[in-house]
């Protein structure tokens, strides 16, 4: 049975299957996922799931009946072990094979293992799957001190969630600021202050040397020789893309599966999307790999549309140009980012007179790369429209003390 085979039943894999059916695709659609569960959302794991007794069903992208109704064949708890490009088939770990006309790699990413002594002790956790979150949640009740290795989005979301559970939390970050790969310095500084205010101890410029304890963890030793007590350790030090399957099949990989602007690998029958895919961004002019729900969903929709259109002519295809956006909930603060702001050389902060909110306009030279906001959803949504429409927001306009994005946006729109 040919048709579309999707490897990975996460956010992106699910969306391809759903969009194919929504678009009227009549062929076979098979979703193979190595987690034994129906496709679910990961964002709540680090925000709410670990601190409540919410049922797994609350995370589901769709109930089981959806897959039956739309004739999406689920092969859950099964992993694809190899791709045979010549035969247009994949082999599952149990030795069975599935043939395809189109193959979509949506294999996501795996947590980076920090190879320090003791990283495999009991009480050392990571957080990628619902199973990880449930394991963490089960051990949290008996823990009073928690060390989190990594001051990125996930580490900080968990730190804020654990403050609500009144744990004593230490975040250990090797870089000199929080979320350093993805947000501007003023936003890092804002979150440093707020997490400290919430009660979390944050150690910047500090690496972990080893996990202490016999069988169970009792703390971590830092690279400067200090010891920190911890009944529980969470390693949240980034991810590595799951590109091994593609590499073994002779497809190009470079810290992810390399695709063109249409999400196609070197093999026209094989696409790659979501956290595992490296693609040329029309926004930065460079190859990027993004880890966000928006990116997974939009790339999935694009691939479904390609398959439905049966159009493989690069000249007539619209490249992937969705404006990247992202959110992170850390205690009472909703951080929202639109655009890719990592390359900014100038950040203009809006003059707000309300505490606990901010709007950071990130520029490279005169070009607005993106906007980072905290608890200001209005500016975030306008930012999405501005970047999608390619409207020019001048740096000197933003710098004026009475600058208002809404007024500016309306003026830009009325000028056409
Ligand atoms: P995934 O959802 O990871 O799915 C990939 C699936 O493929 C996995 O189930 C994997 O096990 C499976 N797989 C891999 N190899 C094989 C194989 N060979 N055979 C079969 N199956 C395979 N993004 C946001 O935008 N905002 C947030 O607030 C946010 N919070 C997050 C919080 C957490 C704790 C985590 C972990 C992620 C968060 N993200 C957030 C990121 C977002 O969830 C990911 O970007 C998104 O899930 C990517 O979708 P994906 O389908 O590419 O990968």
User: Same domain, yes or no, for 212 and 262?
Assistant: no
Q: DSSP code of 50?
A: G
DSSP letters, 229-298, are E-SEEEE---EEE--HHHHHTT--BSSSEE--TTSB-SSTTEEE-GGGEEEE-TTTSSEE---SHHHHHH
Which atom of ligand 1 lies closest to the CA of 329? 28
| Domain boundaries, position 160 | 113-237
User: Same domain, yes or no, for 187 and 265?
Assistant: no
User: Same domain, yes or no, for 123 and 150?
Assistant: yes
- Which candidate, 387, 297, 280, places its Cα nearest to that of 338? 387
Q: DSSP code of 344?
A: -
pLDDT (tens place) for every residue of the chain, 416 residues total? 579 999 999 999 999 999 999 999 999 999 999 999 999 999 999 999 999 999 999 999 999 999 999 999 999 999 999 999 999 999 999 999 999 999 999 999 999 988 889 888 999 999 999 999 999 999 999 999 999 999 999 999 999 999 999 999 999 999 999 999 999 999 999 999 999 999 999 999 999 999 999 889 999 999 999 999 999 999 999 999 999 999 999 999 999 999 999 999 999 999 999 999 999 999 999 999 999 999 999 999 999 999 998 766 666 678 899 999 999 999 999 999 999 998 899 999 998 878 899 999 999 999 999 999 999 999 999 999 999 998 888 899 999 888 989 998 888 888 76
What is the greatest pairwise CA distance in the chain?
69
User: Same domain, yes or no, for 222 and 132?
Assistant: yes
Q: At which residue do the structure tokens 């599952």 appear?
A: 92
Cβ of 194 closer than 6 Å to ligand 1, yes or no, is no
Look at residues 218, 237, 256 and tell me which one is the last residue of a structural domain: 237
ipTM, 2 dp: 0.99
Q: How far is the CA of 41 from the centre of ligand 1 (A)?
A: 8
User: Same domain, yes or no, for 336 and 249?
Assistant: no
User: Same domain, yes or no, for 128 and 204?
Assistant: yes
Answer for the pair 221, 209: CB distance below 8 angstroms, yes or no: yes
Tokens of 308: 């439905």
Which atom of ligand 1 lies closest to the CA of 325? 25
User: Same domain, yes or no, for 253 and 210?
Assistant: no
Burial of 187 (0-12, 13-18, 19+ CB in 10 A): buried
User: Same domain, yes or no, for 220 and 126?
Assistant: yes
Answer for the pair 92, 80: CB distance below 8 angstroms, yes or no: yes
Cβ of 35 closer than 6 Å to ligand 1, yes or no, is yes
């Amino acid at each position: 049975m040919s048709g579309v085979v999707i490897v990975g039943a996460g956010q992106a894999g699910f969306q391809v299957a759903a969009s194919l059916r929504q678009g009227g695709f009549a062929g076979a659609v098979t979703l193979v996922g190595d987690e034994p569960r129906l496709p679910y959302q990961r964002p709540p794991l680090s925000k709410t799931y670990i601190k409540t007794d919410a049922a797994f069903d609350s995370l589901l992208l769709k109930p089981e009946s959806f897959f039956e109704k739309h004739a999406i064949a689920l092969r859950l708890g099964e992993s694809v072990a190899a791709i045979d490009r010549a035969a247009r088939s994949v082999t599952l770990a149990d030795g069975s094979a599935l043939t395809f006309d189109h193959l979509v790699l949506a294999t996501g990413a795996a947590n980076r293992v920090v190879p320090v002594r003791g990283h495999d002790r009991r009480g050392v956790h990571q957080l990628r799957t619902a199973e990880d979150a449930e394991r963490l949640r089960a051990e949290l009740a008996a823990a009073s001190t928690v060390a989190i290795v990594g001051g990125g989005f996930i580490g900080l979301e968990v730190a804020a969630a654990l403050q609500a559970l009144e744990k004593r939390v230490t975040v250990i970050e090797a870089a000199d600021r929080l979320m350093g790969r993805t947000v501007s310095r003023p936003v890092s500084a804002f979150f440093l202050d707020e997490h400290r205010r919430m009660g979390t101890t944050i150690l910047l410029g500090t690496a972990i040397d080893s996990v202490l304890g016999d069988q169970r963890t009792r703390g971590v030793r830092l690279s400067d020789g200090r010891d920190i007590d911890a009944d529980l350790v969470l390693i949240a030090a980034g991810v590595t893309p799951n590109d091994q399957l593609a590499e073994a099949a002779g497809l190009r990989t470079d810290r992810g599966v390399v695709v063109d602007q249409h999400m196609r690998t070197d093999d026209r029958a094989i696409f790659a999307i979501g956290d595992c895919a490296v693609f040329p961004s029309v926004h930065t002019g460079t190859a990027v790999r993004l880890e966000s729900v928006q990116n997974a969903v939009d790339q999935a929709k694009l691939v479904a549309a390609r398959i439905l259109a049966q159009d493989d002519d690069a000249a007539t295809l619209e490249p992937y140009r969705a404006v990247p956006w992202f959110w992170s909930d850390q205690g009472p603060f909703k951080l929202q980012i639109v655009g890719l702001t990592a390359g900014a050389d100038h950040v203009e902060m809006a003059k707000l007179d309300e505490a606990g909110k901010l709007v950071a306009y990130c520029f490279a030279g005169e070009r607005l790369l993106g906007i980072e906001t905290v608890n200001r959803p209005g500016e975030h949504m306008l930012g999405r429209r501005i970047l999608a429409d390619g409207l020019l927001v001048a740096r000197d306009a933003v710098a004026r003390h009475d600058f208002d994005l809404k007024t500016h946006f309306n003026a830009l729109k009325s000028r056409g």
